[in-house]
Amino acid sequence: MEKTEFKQRSMLAETWKRLKKNKGAMIGLAIVLILFLLAIFAGVIYDYQEDVIKQDYNELLQGPSAEHWFGTDELGRDLLARIIYGSRASLFISFAAVALAAVIGCFFGAISGYFGGKVDSVIMRLTDILLAIPETLFAITLVAALGTSTFTLIIALAISNIPIYCRLLRGSVMTQRGSEHVEAARAIGARTSTIIVQHILPNCLAPVLVQFTLSIATTILTISGLSFLGLGVSPPTPEWGSLLSSSRSYMREHTYLTIFPGLAIMVTILSLNLLGDGLRDALDPRLR
């Protein structure tokens, strides 16, 4: 590699430099990292059999204490352990589903927006059909047909999220396609694929990133709804949504049962949002 004084600034290093300046985004990033580490190393911190699913009738509905920081649930299980284990299901399923939806949706959205015409009409009518079916209803149908499993759950949630990304990207791509810098790329003889990948997509990424963090949030809530109906994660495996719904009967006297899983969801979503906003700004060289 040549060393010259005119080093090209690398996109990644630049982004990181700008992201570092954004306090909110850094806090968000720190929390997201901690959450992921906790989810990954949950097995090291707690023993699944002993701490998470073993019922202890001497310890029913204990409030927060030195021994049980978040208290215990109606079956005497440590709430903190269940929340940390629960993050595995919640985070994994929602991330997998939304990432899948974003990739597929963006792919079709880009094609639809760039080529327009008949291709666009067909793709858009298909997304209209998907949009017309409520997410939960669709998931119920699919899970009922294919059987309850994490995999079907991910597929069901992904499919119902696809149209959002498809429409989002189609709109931005259409604006970008008409812009002069894309015409300039055509004028220098760039291939269609180069134009889409190098000139259009990078300029369409911002709204996708923000939508990504929002979708994670709604997906966590949908999963909890499905778990409540018995179609999501089945007990005794903990999951944030099911923790929340099972706590409802005790909400009056044992508020902490609702507060802690709720906080977990809130903190996750908030930090994802902070990170998403920060990333969007950091990826744009015009904002500094």
Partner 1 sequence: MAEALLEVKNVKKYFKTPKGMLHAVDDVSFTINKGETLGVVGESGCGKSTTGRVVLRLLEPTEGQILMEGQDIARLNDSQMRSKRKEMQMIFQDPLASLDPRKTVGQIIEEPLKIHNIISSRHERQKRVLELMETVGLAQRYYSTYPHELDGGRRQRIGIARALSMNPKFIVCDEPVSALDVSIQAQILNLLEDLQHDMGLTYMFITHDLSVVHHFSNNIAVMYLGKIIELAPSDELFAHPTHPYTQALLSAIPVPKLENRRERIILKGEITSPINLPKACRFASRCLYAKPECFGQEPELKEVAPGHQVACFLKDKPD
The single residue among 4, 49, 58, 193 that binds partner 1, judged by CB under 8 A, is: 4
Q: Build a one-symbol-per-residue string for 187-226: x at contacts with partner 1 by CB under 8 A, - elsewhere.
A: xxxxx--x----x--xx-----------------------
Nearest CB to partner 1, comparing residues 147 and 189: 189
The single residue among 110, 185, 196, 257 that binds partner 1, judged by CB under 8 A, is: 185
Site stretch for partner 1 (CB under 8 A), options 49-57, 72-80, 175-183, 212-220: 175-183
Whole-angstrom Cα Rg for the chain? 23
Smallest distance, Å, CB 204 to partner 1?
11
Nearest alpha-carbon partner for 139 in 244, 227, 237: 227
HSE at residue 225, side-chain half, CA atoms within 13 A, is 14
The full length of the chain comes to 288
Cα angle, residue 268 at apex, residues 265 and 269 outer, rounded to 5°: 85
Q: Does 183 engage in binding with partner 1 (CB under 8 A)?
A: yes
Nearest CB to partner 1, comparing residues 7 and 252: 7
Site stretch for partner 1 (CB under 8 A), options 70-78, 163-171, 178-186, 274-282: 178-186
Smallest distance, Å, CB 288 to partner 1?
9
Cα angle, residue 199 at apex, residues 198 and 205 outer, rounded to 5°: 90
Smallest distance, Å, CB 182 to partner 1?
8
Question: What is the sign, positive or negative, of the torsion defined by CA atoms of 218, 220, 222, 225?
Answer: negative
The single residue among 121, 179, 249, 255 that binds partner 1, judged by CB under 8 A, is: 179
- Distances in whole angstroms, Cα of residue 237 to Cα of each of 82, 86, 145, 162, 172: 8, 8, 22, 28, 41
Tokens matching residue 249:
């009967």
SS3 label, residue 139: helix
Smallest distance, Å, CB 117 to partner 1?
12
Q: Does 6 engage in binding with partner 1 (CB under 8 A)?
A: yes
Nearest CB to partner 1, comparing residues 181 and 248: 181
